[in-house]
């Protein structure tokens, strides 16, 4: 009996102690009917349930609340003392499109040419990218993955960070990306003379306007016998017709004002401003225009030498308090896992924890048009959730379990497996290893 | 007599210049939670700094006359953060004209007016290791600095008495340079050969001078003086500490073998993303590692990284620090250190040591800074919450007991004078990639570029 108890204890403890992968054991995601009980549930949209239960069935949240009857056929996970949150959404990454930074062959987010709106990010998403498990075990369950470069680099897609094909991962929304002609420098790029910068910007704006003028014309003649198939215009016409949202990457205050005027002039619906590093300077104008914002990285240096050192940390809070709907992005790929810390810094520098949590969950979902499916813990939504030891914005917090699309995700990644292998390496040191031997000389 | 006065006058003048204009302050930080690093956490404790040095750490210290008192009730007091790998305040980073440039020094390119210094202070940082770039195998000498912001004299920012250090580099960066110029090294084999050849040359040089000095005579001509060789000789004598840019486990292991052969005992690996794979060897050799909290995948040699690197190294007994290598990251090194609690469960003290005591050891300045102890320098940061919390905000930063940052008096607009005629605001959008300054100014042209017709 005692022996049996020991064995049973061992069976229950082993998976708890080692969250990585066991030797020769393949860890797979599991679907099914799950009951997550006794947890503190942050629904985001309906407050906090101190001691509640979530029923997941067929990938969907079937029930959530304090007094839920647990179905007899559900697998029960007791999360006493744990917290459950909706999966975090990183509304600006290149996950799946970029594997290694310095190697062009490992990057698929940029196509040749400045105007390539017909490029589809979703098609190039590598479901097996190493960065995907690294990201999702940190509680980020959904990401916007974006094409980049040029003026109109293509169409971005929201993806859930689990699945074996791009279509299995697709989270239900796409958006046309436009890099608004910028008066600002990016990074340490060489300074242009003000005249040259102005000329370059006017040229870029002309290119942009010509493309959209054509697209508007194309939208009018589309479908007629005279209209020839024109893939670039086909893509842009979707924005003109209001079928596809337009995300405008814009950062300098002056450019934000120009972009707002440009949007009003064109009359496009469903426009989102992204980046918006200097949003705090023109927060009132953004709020009045009624345009939502995806901003980040929050952990970044101010845009001007004369700015307060914390201008970038305080930017999301300043916009939110002016009445702008704000989502926070990491703007990163391999370190999209730091999204909760970008949110945490925004929280500390004026946004507050509750609003910062919304900025990486429900606000991101609403802005990207997928809030009927994700972004909060509500009945009928997709089971994209995570279980933690506490506040996910704190680095001392552990993410214990992640569910995506109702699948219980294996809590492993290459980085965790390397930890398991090398924490106590076998063999460690051997007699006769040169480093030891020579040192003794 | 007149001559004596002149000499005394000159000596006084020289002493004034040599001393530079370093300010040393007095301050009493009262009633804080003091994170000493070497002596645990002391609640409701005061720290007294006199003339730039910590003179007492105790409860209920009476404020001496004329000493400024700071109420730290409910706040956290920790040693100033030290960044063992930085490129802020450097007006140049690489001297890439040769694969060995031990003769140059970052000392000559310190820009004391770089605003990044102030922003680092606003992140609780008090000392940095301004490093040469990684374009060549044996790069230039580095400069250990104190962030005494506000002086226009670069010498005021020197960490007086800190050991000399030098940058080495292995792997992709120096071989990229070799390929671009059509010279050695173009492989990790070539890197090792270049190191061994350089030290062997230096031994020859040392012996030539030793022979000459042992048997000086007016009829003998002294050997040629070579600053590059002098530096290599000093490295072998242990007078210049080597900080080596490296990533892969094999190249880290290689350098330990080379150093063992040439009898060089002290060595710190910089970046060292794969150091975790040879942690037992590093511990045995006594080599140290200064790593990122979580940067990876920006090039092939960091693809097999793990954010658990610092924890694996620490738990294997390797003295480890976390550095920034970035004008952005340097502003929240306390947060970078805190990530080791997510990745590997380091204790509060172990995590804080990664950005205080351990980098001080790696720079050879741990007798002066890195912990809050009597007789150490008054380099102190005050936080509103525990510095390992994501929500912690640095409030004040002191160097030598002088306050260089105070959040309460920080201005929203830092301009002293606003030019009414300036119409163009210089707006620079943050780009993480451009924070990597390791290859800046290396002018890596391809070999064929040199012969291209324009």
The string of pLDDT tens digits covering residues B299-343 is 999 999 999 999 999 999 999 999 999 999 999 999 999 999 999
Q: Is the pLDDT of residue B440 over 80?
A: no
Q: Is the pLDDT of residue B453 over 50?
A: no
Residue in B312, B412, B430 closest to A301 by CB? B430
Do A433 and B390 count as a contact with CB atoms less than 8 A apart? no
Tokens of B290: 């200064």
**What is the rounded CA–CA span in Å between residue B391 and residue A353?**
9
Q: Is the pLDDT of residue B143 over 60?
A: yes
| Partners of residue B345 on adjacent β-strands | none
| Partners of residue A115 on adjacent β-strands | A152
Q: Is the pLDDT of residue A97 over 50?
A: yes
Question: Which residues, 6+ apart, have CB-to-CB distance to B366 below 8 Å?
Answer: B357, B360
Report residue A255: phi and psi, to 5°: -70, -35
Residue in A358, A260, A279, A366 with CA at minimum distance from that of residue A318: A279
**What is the rounded CA–CA span in Å between residue B125 and residue B339?**
18
Residue B12 pLDDT class (50, 70, 90 cuts): low
Range in A28-37, A355-364, B426-435 with the lowest mean pLDDT: B426-435
Chain position carrying tokens 């009898």: B263
CATH of B81-367, one of 1.20.1300.10, 3.30.750.24, 3.20.20.70, 3.20.20.140: 3.20.20.140
Q: Is the pLDDT of residue A251 over 60?
A: yes
Mean pLDDT score of chain A, rounded to an integer?
93
pLDDT digits (tens, 9 = 90+) for B384-408: 999 999 999 999 999 999 999 999 9
Q: Nearest-CA residue of chain B relative to A342?
A: B390
Distances (CA, A) of B2 to B12, B13, B399, B444: 15, 16, 41, 58
ipTM field: 0.93
What integer is the mean pLDDT of B45-71? 97
CATH of A88-374, one of 3.40.50.1980, 3.20.20.140, 3.30.559.10, 1.10.10.10: 3.20.20.140
Question: For position B439, what pLDDT does the model report?
Answer: 76
Question: For position A22, what pLDDT does the model report?
Answer: 53
- Which numeric CATH code is attached to B21-79+370-408? 2.30.40.10
Mean pLDDT score of chain B, rounded to an integer?
92
Q: Nearest-CA residue of chain B relative to A301?
A: B328
Residue B81 CA, chain-centre distance (Å), reads 11
Contacts of A130 in chain B (CB under 8 A): 297, 303
Residue in B331, B388, B430 closest to A395 by CB? B388
Question: For position A226, what pLDDT does the model report?
Answer: 78
Every domain of chain B with CATH number 3.20.20.140 lies at 81-367
Interface of A with B in 193-212 (CB under 8 A): 194, 197
Residue A127 pLDDT class (50, 70, 90 cuts): very high
Q: What pTM did the predictor assign?
A: 0.94
Interface of A with B in 47-86 (CB under 8 A): none
Q: Is the pLDDT of residue B125 over 60?
A: yes
Residue B447 pLDDT class (50, 70, 90 cuts): very low
Range in A124-133, A280-289, A415-424, B2-11 with the lowest mean pLDDT: B2-11
**What is the rounded CA–CA span in Å between residue A431 and residue A307?**
58
Interface of B with A in 304-363 (CB under 8 A): 304-308, 311-312, 315, 327-328, 331-332, 335, 338-339, 341-344
Interface of B with A in 360-399 (CB under 8 A): 388-393
* Domain locations in chain A as residue ranges: 88-374
Percent above pLDDT 70 for chain B: 91
Do A312 and B414 count as a contact with CB atoms less than 8 A apart? no
What integer is the mean pLDDT of A315-343? 98
Residue A228 pLDDT class (50, 70, 90 cuts): confident
Per DSSP, which regions of B198-329 are E strands?
240-246, 267-271, 288-291, 320-322
Question: For position A438, what pLDDT does the model report?
Answer: 53
What is the four-CA torsion angle of B58, B63, B66, B70, rounded to 10 degrees? 70
Q: Is the pLDDT of residue B446 over 60?
A: no
Residue A16 pLDDT class (50, 70, 90 cuts): very low
pLDDT digits (tens, 9 = 90+) for A405-417: 999 999 999 999 9
What integer is the mean pLDDT of B26-39? 98
Residue in A361, A302, A296 with CA at minimum distance from that of residue A333: A296
Do B430 and A312 count as a contact with CB atoms less than 8 A apart? yes
Q: Is the pLDDT of residue A72 over 50?
A: yes
Q: Is the pLDDT of residue A277 over 60?
A: yes
Do A306 and B331 count as a contact with CB atoms less than 8 A apart? no
Chain B: nearest CA to A23, how far in angstroms? 18
Chain A: nearest CA to B287, how far in angstroms? 11
Q: Is the pLDDT of residue B454 over 80?
A: no
User: With 0-12 CB in 10 A as exposed, 13-18 as middle and 19+ as buried, what is B225?
Assistant: exposed
Question: For position B448, what pLDDT does the model report?
Answer: 47
Chain B: nearest CA to A19, how far in angstroms? 12
Q: Give the DSSP H or E segment for A75.
A: strand A75-78
Question: For position B237, what pLDDT does the model report?
Answer: 96
Question: Which residues, 6+ apart, have CB-to-CB distance to A168 below 8 Å?
Answer: A127, A162
Distances (CA, A) of B357 to A214, A366, B366, B386: 63, 46, 6, 18
What integer is the mean pLDDT of A238-266? 97
Question: Which residues, 6+ apart, have CB-to-CB distance to B122 below 8 Å?
Answer: A309, A310, B331, B394, B397, B405, B407, B410
pLDDT digits (tens, 9 = 90+) for A175-225: 999 999 998 877 665 667 778 888 888 999 999 999 999 999 999 998 888
Every domain of chain B with CATH number 2.30.40.10 lies at 21-79+370-408
Chain A: nearest CA to B429, how far in angstroms? 5
Question: For position A183, what pLDDT does the model report?
Answer: 87
Q: Is the pLDDT of residue A18 over 50?
A: no
Residue A46 pLDDT class (50, 70, 90 cuts): very high
Question: For position A437, what pLDDT does the model report?
Answer: 53
Q: Is the pLDDT of residue A8 over 60?
A: no
- CB of B58 less than 8 A from some CB of A: no
Residue B445 pLDDT class (50, 70, 90 cuts): very low
Question: Which residues, 6+ apart, have CB-to-CB distance to B253 below 8 Å?
Answer: A435, B278, B281
């Amino acid at each position: 009996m005692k022996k049996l108890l020991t064995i049973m204890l061992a069976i229950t403890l082993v998976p708890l102690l080692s969250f990585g992968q066991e030797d020769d054991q393949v860890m797979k995601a599991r679907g099914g009917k799950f009951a997550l009980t006794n947890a503190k549930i942050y629904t985001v949209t309906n407050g906090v349930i101190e001691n509640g239960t979530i029923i997941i069935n067929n990938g969907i949240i079937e029930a959530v609340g304090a007094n839920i009857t647990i179905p007899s056929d559900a697998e029960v996970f007791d999360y006493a003392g744990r917290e459950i949150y909706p999966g975090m959404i990183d509304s600006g990454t290149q996950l799946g499109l970029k594997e290694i930074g310095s190697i062009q062959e490992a990057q698929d987010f940029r196509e040749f040419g400045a105007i390539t709106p017909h490029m589809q990010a979703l098609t190039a998403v590598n479901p097996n990218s190493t960065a995907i498990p690294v990201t999702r075990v940190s509680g980020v369950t959904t990401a916007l993955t974006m094409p980049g470069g040029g003026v109109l680099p293509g169409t971005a897609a929201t993806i859930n960070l689990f699945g074996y094909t791009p279509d299995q991962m697709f989270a239900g929304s796409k958006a046309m990306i436009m890099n608004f002609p910028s008066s600002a420098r990016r990074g340490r790029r060489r300074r242009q003379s003000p005249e040259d910068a102005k000329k370059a910007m006017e040229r870029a704006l002309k290119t942009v306007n010509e493309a959209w003028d054509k697209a508007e014309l194309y939208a009018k003649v589309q479908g007629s016998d005279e209209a020839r198939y024109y893939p670039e215009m086909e893509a842009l016409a979707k924005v003109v017709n209001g079928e596809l949202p337009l995300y405008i990457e814009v950062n300098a205050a002056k450019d934000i004002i120009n972009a707002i005027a440009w949007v009003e002039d064109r009359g496009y619906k469903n426009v989102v401003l992204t980046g918006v590093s200097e949003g705090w300077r023109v927060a009132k104008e953004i709020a009045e225009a009624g345009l939502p914002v995806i901003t980040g990285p929050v952990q970044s240096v101010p845009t001007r030498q004369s700015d307060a050192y914390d201008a970038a940390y305080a930017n999301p809070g300043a916009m939110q308090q002016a009445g702008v709907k704000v989502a926070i992005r990491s703007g990163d790929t391999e370190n999209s896992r730091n999204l909760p810390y970008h949110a945490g810094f925004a929280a500390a520098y004026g946004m507050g924890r509750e609003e910062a949590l919304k900025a990486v969950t429900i606000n991101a979902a609403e802005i990207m048009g997928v809030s009927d499916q994700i972004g909060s813990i509500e009945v009928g939504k997709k089971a994209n959730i995570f279980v933690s030891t506490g506040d996910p914005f704190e680095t001392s917090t552990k993410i214990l379990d992640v569910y995506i699309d109702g699948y219980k995700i294996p809590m492993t990644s290459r980085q965790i497996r390397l930890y398991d292998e090398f924490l106590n390496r076998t063999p460690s040191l051997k007699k006769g290893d040169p480093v030891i031997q020579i040192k003794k000389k | 007599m007149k001559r004596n006065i002149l000499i005394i006058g000159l000596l006084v003048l020289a002493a004034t210049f040599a001393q530079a204009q370093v300010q040393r302050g007095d301050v009493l930080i009262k009633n804080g939670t003091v994170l000493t690093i070497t002596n645990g956490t002391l609640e409701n404790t005061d720290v007294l700094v006199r003339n730039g040095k910590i003179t007492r750490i105790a409860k209920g210290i009476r404020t001496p006359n004329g000493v400024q008192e700071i109420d730290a009730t409910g706040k956290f007091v920790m040693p100033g953060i030290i960044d063992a790998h930085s490129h802020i305040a450097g007006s140049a980073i690489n001297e890439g004209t040769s694969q060995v440039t031990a003769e140059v020094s970052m000392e000559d390119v310190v820009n004391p007016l770089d605003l990044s210094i102030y922003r680092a202070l606003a992140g609780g940082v008090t000392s940095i290791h301004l490093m040469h770039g990684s374009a060549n195998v044996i790069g230039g000498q580095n400069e250990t600095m104190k962030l005494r912001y506000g002086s226009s004299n670069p010498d005021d920012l020197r960490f007086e008495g800190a050991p000399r250090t030098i940058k080495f580099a292995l792997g992709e960066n120096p071989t990229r340079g070799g390929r671009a110029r059509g010279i050695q090294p173009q492989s990790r084999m070539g890197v090792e050969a270049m190191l061994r050849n350089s030290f062997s040359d230096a031994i020859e040089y040392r012996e030539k001078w030793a022979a000459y000095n042992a048997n000086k005579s007016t009829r003998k001509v002294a050997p040629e003086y070579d600053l590059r060789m002098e530096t290599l000789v000093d490295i072998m004598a242990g007078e210049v500490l080597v900080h080596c840019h490296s990533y892969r486990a094999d190249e880290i292991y290689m350098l330990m073998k080379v150093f063992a052969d040439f009898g060089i005992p002290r060595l710190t690996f910089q970046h060292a993303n794969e150091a975790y794979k040879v942690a037992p060897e590093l511990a045995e050799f006594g080599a140290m590692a200064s790593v990122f909290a979580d940067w990876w995948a920006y090039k092939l040699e960091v693809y097999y990284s793990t954010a658990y690197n610092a924890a694996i190294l620490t738990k294997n007994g390797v003295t480890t620090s976390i550095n920034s290598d970035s004008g952005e990251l340097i502003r929240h090194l306390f947060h970078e250190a805190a990530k080791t609690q997510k990745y590997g469960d380091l204790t509060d003290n172990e995590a804080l040591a990664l950005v205080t005591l351990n980098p001080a050891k790696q720079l050879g300045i741990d007798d002066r800074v890195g912990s809050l102890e009597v007789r150490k320098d008054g380099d102190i940061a005050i936080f509103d919450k525990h510095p390992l919390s994501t929500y912690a905000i640095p409030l004040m930063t002191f160097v030598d007991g002088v306050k260089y940052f105070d959040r309460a008096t920080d201005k929203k607009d830092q301009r002293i004078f606003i030019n009414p005629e300036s119409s163009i605001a210089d707006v620079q959008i943050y780009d993480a990639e451009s924070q990597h300054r390791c290859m800046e100014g290396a002018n890596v042209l391809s070999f064929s570029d040199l012969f291209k017709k324009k």
